[in-house]
Amino acid sequence: MYLSPEQTKRVVAALAVAVLLGVTIVALLLMPPLEQGVPTSGDVIDELGGRPVYAFSFPETPTPELRRPVSVIVSGGRVYVVDSAAGVVRVFDERGQERSVIGSGTLGTPVYIARDAARGVLYVTDRQRRALVSFTDEGEHIGEVVPRSAAATPSVEATPWAPLGVAVDEQGLLYVTDVAKRHRLLVLKRDGTIVREIAGEQQARTGSGVVLSLEYPNAVDVTADEIWVADSNNRRVVVFGRDGEFRRVITMPGMARGLDFISSEESTRPLVAVVDTLAQDVAVLDATGTVRGTFGEPGAGAGGLAFPNDVAVSADGTRLYVADTGNRRVQVWDIVPAPSARGPEGEPAETSARGRVPYVATAIVAGVVALVIAGVTASAWWRERRVRQEGGPGLIDKASATTGRVRSSATPSARRRCSEAVDRRIT
């Protein structure tokens, strides 16, 4: 079908408007929710030096959803999420974009994960296999770490083990919670050699200090001089020295699972984030173990948690990743500096639309350009229509009414109508 130049211009303009309107709609659909400051209690905002603000959750469609995210760590620019129901570790970047999958076909029911940053080795505990499995950062299966005794720890490896929580210190030593016979904490070398048993039968026989009975210890983490253990079923966090000696107990209102240390320039002192899976919030503890406050609440929306199981803190201490197990996602919260913005205790902090700015700007620009193109095209079409409607009589010159001459610019049909009019006047 032949199109005149004017018709071609209108078609191109219509297509451009359709594309721009499509861009506007897509930008509005992809626009993230308002960043919502989650409810807080205590002095958590003062301690953190900022307000915890919900940023986003991942994975997003069309990335396959998580089935049961139970553990999360952030290291080397990557976020490692253990999906126990899928039997894999999924690797994301810090923006929540999936990069790879580790352990498919090797892991049974993975639970917790740790990374030896110096060597680029991942350690994953597997409840189904009762094993501590190691991988390279690229996902290559290295093998299993099997505890074995040294001269200082005779026959400790004879006790069947069921590793659960795991951490790695700066020297490459592994700290593994064991929930097989007598629940305990093992300190291992990379080859599995037992350096120390804490709160287990061996310590009960040889230790001279206080011996605690752990009940399903989950996460474990290490500072320069202390070992923190989430003693979940006893609803507490137990702190030991690096030498294995008991130091203190921190009672939790619910059930402590995952924990990680917060270190940033904004925080007034070293802090610890502890996920409370029953209270469904995140508690912030100071170095002495005093609970300074909490943030988060039960729910499925922004900042809402459903039986969370783990938490990881970015290296600069300004972002927290929470394994929101019940909601099948990982939530990301930013610590936004706002020392004077603290509202009434227990009230949600104000919302922020900063994450929506690029989407709104794109939608506005595309919408305005589409309206301009549509307006110009419509105006041109209307002028052309008026010319066509008025073109015949308007193109008849006054002189041509008596002489029968028609302007050369008139169309053939106009000339014909004019000639007929002149003939009628003459006759």
The Cα 206–Cα 201 span in angstroms is 9
- Token pair, residue 388, equals 């066509």
The DSSP output letter for 329 is: E
pLDDT value at residue 113:
98
Q: Which residues of 94-132 are buried (b: 16+ CB within 10 A; e: fewer)?
A: eebebeeebbeebbebbbbbbbbeeeebbbbbbbebbbb
- Token pair, residue 315, equals 């290296």
Give the rounded distance of the alpha carbon of 62 from its chain centre.
15
Q: Return the closest-CA partner of residue 162 out of 196, 142, 141, 186.
A: 186
The Cα 54–Cα 369 span in angstroms is 33
List Cα–Cα distances, 370 to 15, 290, 359, 362, in angstroms: 10, 58, 16, 12
Q: Is the dihedral of CA 80, 84, 85, 87 positive or negative?
A: positive
Q: Is 407 helix (H, G, I), strand (E, B) or coil?
A: coil
List Cα–Cα distances, 141 to 104, 144, 312, in angstroms: 10, 9, 24
Largest CA distance in the chain: 134
DSSP 164-199: EEEEE-TT--EEEEE-SSS-EEEEE-TT-BEEEEES
> Going along 244-318, which residue ranges are E strands?
246-251, 256-262, 271-276, 281-286, 291-295, 297-298, 304-305, 310-313
Q: Are 36 and 53 in contact, with CB atoms under 8 Å apart?
A: yes
For residue 88, the one-letter residue type is V
Q: Please, what is the angle between helix 412-426 and helix 357-394, to 10°?
A: 30
List per-residue pLDDT tens for the chain, 427 residues long.
Answer: 666 777 787 778 888 888 888 888 987 887 766 555 455 555 667 777 788 888 999 998 778 899 999 999 999 999 999 999 999 999 999 999 999 999 999 999 999 999 999 999 999 999 999 999 999 999 999 999 999 887 655 555 556 899 999 999 999 999 999 999 889 999 999 999 999 999 876 565 555 455 578 999 999 999 989 999 999 999 999 999 999 999 999 999 899 999 999 975 554 467 999 999 999 999 999 888 888 888 888 999 888 999 999 999 999 889 999 999 999 999 999 988 864 444 444 444 445 555 677 788 888 988 898 888 888 888 877 887 777 777 654 444 444 444 444 444 555 665 566 566 545 554 4
List Cα–Cα distances, 35 to 96, 301, 349, 352, 387, in angstroms: 16, 11, 10, 5, 55
The Cα 50–Cα 348 span in angstroms is 14
The DSSP output letter for 214 is: -
The DSSP output letter for 136 is: E
Q: Is 69 helix (H, G, I), strand (E, B) or coil?
A: strand
- Token pair, residue 270, equals 């070293």
The Cα 282–Cα 273 span in angstroms is 6
Walk across the sheet containing 256-262 and list its strands. Answer: 40-42, 291-295, 281-286, 271-276, 256-262
List Cα–Cα distances, 138 to 91, 135, 242, 285, in angstroms: 10, 8, 31, 35
pTM for the whole structure: 0.70
pLDDT value at residue 399:
43
